[in-house]
Structure formats: structure tokens, C-alpha cells
């Protein structure tokens, strides 16, 4: 350092200052852009349930946002809470370490929050601490990954993995319109996960009803890179395909790249999860991608709404039942060019 010429040092400092300023500005613009994306997606119900009521303090914890869907879970939950002036959301987002996630929930219990919305990294591992919260009189809403005890949550919000497979399979059957001998391929997610097995089972069951079956099946790992790898191999193995279902739109970016590289366009591709990217492709109708099956990334946002209702002692206004249900399984609709505009606003950016 001492040997550097003073003027050069000053020049270096100026460059450094500029670089820092650019970085800071860049980070800021990025942040505000994200906020705009989710704001449209948040809906309020058309009853007086949304009228400001008693103050509700809600603690929220979810795994690390390491892919688009999970990132959208936190973002839409936070955006949903902002819509209500009677909700005070405490966010302890983002960890794949159960030890840390447990301590986050313990902190919520110490803080005596009214409700906790929890998307556990591992449902079974978070059960004891969730039960502790329930015993302390806190309303716990379990999202997406189920606890293994019914005492650990007041209400559970789940996506429908088996239903996703059924929706995708039914779309194929309807589109095939009774034709026989068509080739169906499937690119699954992480094969050892129960959710992947359920999706595949639903797909196979639905295909069976119209006499089709999965001819080629490979598994990827929900990442872009693994999707590209799995798809390249699959396309090599199957010279002609009629339908391809890909379980996950985050890995689908890689799958589409592989399809383009191979110059293949003889088949119809169906996506999964429902990213905004994929929906824009469906809308543009300029690729093999014609449909996707939604796995809602607004589950935690629904958890926030339910937590607020439960704490304020309100009921779900469109049900005759007075109490909020114990479990909600969200539907897995098929998005096509016809209805894409309905789903695009609530889709997640991957």
C-alpha cells in the first residue's frame, strides 16, 4: 500500500466509490421491481371479513427461498399481510436448518404472537415445536408440508400433488381425443420425494382411464441444470413423442432449452407448478409448451388470511360452517391459452 502513488490511489478510490454507488443503486432498483410484481396478485375477498378488526400479530417462517416457487411463497405472504392494517407480520423467513427454524418458532412463542404461519423445512421435525405453540394458545397454520400430529396445527393448507398428476393426465386424454398408440413421456422432480411419487401416480392413473401409459420417464432435481440434462437424455432415448409432462416449471427452463437444442417440436409439452415465465410462453403460443398445472405459490398467503380470520373469530364467509375448516387442499387447475389471463397475475417468477 505504502508504495502506491498518491494520485493513483485517489483514482482508485474514485473508481471504488463509483462501483459501490452502482452496486447500491442496482440493489435498490431490483428490490422495488420485485414489489410491483406481486402486488397485482393479491386479492381481497368481497365480504366484510376484510374490514379492519382487532390487531393480529402473526409470525411467519418458511424454508430458504432457493427456487422460484419458494421465493414466491414468502413474497406473496408478506404482500398479503400488507393489505391489512390490522395485521402485524413478523417474518423469520428462509432457513433449511430445522434447528434454526425451531428457534424462530420459539421466539414467536416467547413474543406471544396470536398466530404462526409455518411452512416447515421438514414437517415431522417441526411438529414438536408447533405443538408447543398450540399448547401456549397460539393458532398455528401449517402450510404445504404436513405435520405428523393433528394436535400441532389448527388448520392446514396443502397443494394437491396427486391432483396435479390427474390434471396433467386428463389434459392429455382430452387432447388425444381417443387416439391410440400415442407416446407419452414424463420428466419428474426429485424421485425419492413423496410429492413426486404422488404426482407420477396421479398422472399414470389419469392416463390409464383413456388407455394411454407413460412410455418414457426420467427424473430431474427441480433445478434448471438438472432439467436440461434429464431432457437431453430423454429426447435422445425417444425419437418420437406425442406428449411430455414436466413436473416443475423451474426445471422446465432447462427442459425447454434442451428441446430447442434438439430441434424437436413434434409433441405437446405440459408444465407443472405454474411459473409466470411458462404462462407467458403459453400465451405467446410459440413453443411446444401448451399448458401447465398450477401448484399454488399463494399457499402461505392463504395461511395469513386464515390466521387472521381465526384470531378475529370470523368464519369463512362463503361457507355455511361457522368455524374455519381444519384442512384446505388447493385445486390444481390446468392453465391453457384460453384461461391463462386468469392465472398469470398470481403466477410466480422463477
Q: Which of 66, 111, 174, 323 binds another protein (CB under 8 A)?
A: 111
Under rule CB under 8 A, residue 233 binds another protein: no
Nearer to another protein, 92 or 244 (CB): 92
Cα 226–Cα 230–Cα 235 angle in degrees, nearest 5: 145
Q: Which of 91, 210, 238, 328 binds another protein (CB under 8 A)?
A: 91
Smallest separation, CB 196 to another protein (Å): 11
> Which residue in 295, 296, 293, 297 sits closest to 334, CA to CA?
293
Q: How far apart are CA 293 and CA 247, in angstroms?
A: 9
Place of cell 417474518: 91
Q: How far apart are CA 270 and CA 171, in angstroms?
A: 9
Under rule CB under 8 A, residue 127 binds another protein: yes
Nearer to another protein, 47 or 96 (CB): 96
Place of cell 430445522: 98
> Which residue in 227, 222, 169 sits closest to 200, CA to CA?
169
C-alpha cell at 200: 407420477
Q: Which of 49, 107, 287, 312 binds another protein (CB under 8 A)?
A: 107
Under rule CB under 8 A, residue 163 binds another protein: no
Q: How far apart are CA 172 and CA 268, in angstroms?
A: 9
Under rule CB under 8 A, residue 97 binds another protein: yes
Smallest separation, CB 343 to another protein (Å): 28
Under rule CB under 8 A, residue 192 binds another protein: yes
Nearer to another protein, 91 or 328 (CB): 91
> Which residue in 345, 335, 344, 339 sits closest to 290, CA to CA?
335
Under rule CB under 8 A, residue 144 binds another protein: no
Nearer to another protein, 1 or 322 (CB): 1
DSSP state letters, 96-144: S-HHHHHHHHHHHHHTT-SEEEE--SSHHHHHHHHHHHHHTT-EEEEES
Tell me the window of 25-33, 89-97, 158-166, 317-325 that interacts with another protein (CB under 8 A). 89-97
> Which residue in 79, 136, 91 sits closest to 117, CA to CA?
91
Q: SS3 of 298, please?
A: coil
Under rule CB under 8 A, residue 125 binds another protein: yes
C-alpha cell at 91: 417474518
Q: Which of 92, 130, 207, 255 binds another protein (CB under 8 A)?
A: 92
Under rule CB under 8 A, residue 325 binds another protein: no
Sign for the CA dihedral angle at 278, 280, 283, 285 comes to: negative
Smallest separation, CB 118 to another protein (Å): 14
C-alpha cell at 303: 395461511
Under rule CB under 8 A, residue 23 binds another protein: no
Q: How far apart are CA 309 and CA 166, in angstroms?
A: 32
Nearer to another protein, 45 or 96 (CB): 96
C-alpha cell at 12: 482508485
Under rule CB under 8 A, residue 94 binds another protein: yes
Smallest separation, CB 51 to another protein (Å): 26
User: Which residues are at the interface with another protein (CB under 8 A)?
Assistant: 64, 90-100, 102-104, 106-107, 109-111, 121-129, 148, 192-193
Amino acid at each position: 500500500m505504502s508504495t502506491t502513488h498518491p494520485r493513483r490511489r485517489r483514482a482508485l478510490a474514485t473508481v471504488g466509490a463509483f462501483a459501490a454507488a452502482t452496486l447500491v443503486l442496482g440493489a435498490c432498483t431490483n428490490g422495488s421491481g420485485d414489489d410491483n410484481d406481486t402486488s397485482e396478485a393479491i386479492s381481497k375477498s368481497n365480504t366484510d371479513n376484510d374490514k379492519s378488526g382487532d390487531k393480529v400479530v402473526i409470525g411467519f417462517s418458511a424454508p430458504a427461498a432457493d427456487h422460484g416457487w419458494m421465493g414466491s411463497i414468502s413474497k406473496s405472504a408478506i404482500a398479503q399481510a400488507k393489505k391489512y392494517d390490522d395485521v402485524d407480520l413478523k417474518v423469520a423467513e428462509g432457513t433449511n436448518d430445522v434447528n434454526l427454524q425451531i428457534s424462530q418458532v420459539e421466539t414467536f412463542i416467547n413474543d406471544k404472537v396470536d398466530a404462526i404461519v409455518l411452512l416447515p423445512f421438514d414437517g415431522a421435525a417441526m411438529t414438536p415445536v408447533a405443538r408447543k405453540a398450540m399448547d401456549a394458545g397460539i393458532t398455528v397454520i401449517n402450510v404445504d408440508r404436513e405435520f405428523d400430529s393433528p394436535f400441532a396445527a389448527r388448520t392446514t393448507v396443502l397443494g394437491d400433488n396427486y391432483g396435479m398428476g390427474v390434471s396433467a393426465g386428463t389434459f392429455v386424454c382430452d387432447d388425444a381425443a381417443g387416439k391410440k398408440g400415442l407416446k407419452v413421456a414424463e420428466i419428474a422432480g426429485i424421485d425419492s420425494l413423496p410429492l413426486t411419487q404422488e404426482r407420477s401416480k396421479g398422472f399414470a392413473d389419469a392416463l390409464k382411464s383413456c388407455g394411454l401409459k407413460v412410455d418414457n420417464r426420467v427424473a430431474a432435481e427441480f433445478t434448471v441444470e438438472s432439467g436440461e440434462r434429464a431432457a437431453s437424455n430423454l429426447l435422445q432415448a425417444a425419437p418420437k413423442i406425442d406428449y411430455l409432462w414436466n413436473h416443475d416449471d423451474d426445471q422446465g427452463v432447462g427442459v425447454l432449452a434442451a428441446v430447442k437444442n434438439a430441434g424437436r417440436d413434434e409433441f405437446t409439452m405440459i408444465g407443472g407448478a405454474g411459473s409466470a415465465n411458462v404462462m407467458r410462453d403459453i400465451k405467446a403460443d410459440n413453443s411446444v409448451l401448451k399448458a401447465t398445472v398450477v401448484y399454488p405459490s399463494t399457499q402461505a398467503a392463504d395461511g395469513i388470511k386464515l390466521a387472521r380470520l381465526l384470531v378475529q373469530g370470523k368464519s369463512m364467509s362463503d361457507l355455511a360452517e361457522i368455524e374455519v375448516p381444519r384442512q384446505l387442499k388447493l385445486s390444481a387447475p390446468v392453465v391453457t391459452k384460453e384461461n391463462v389471463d386468469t392465472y398469470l397475475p398470481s403466477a410466480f417468477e422463477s
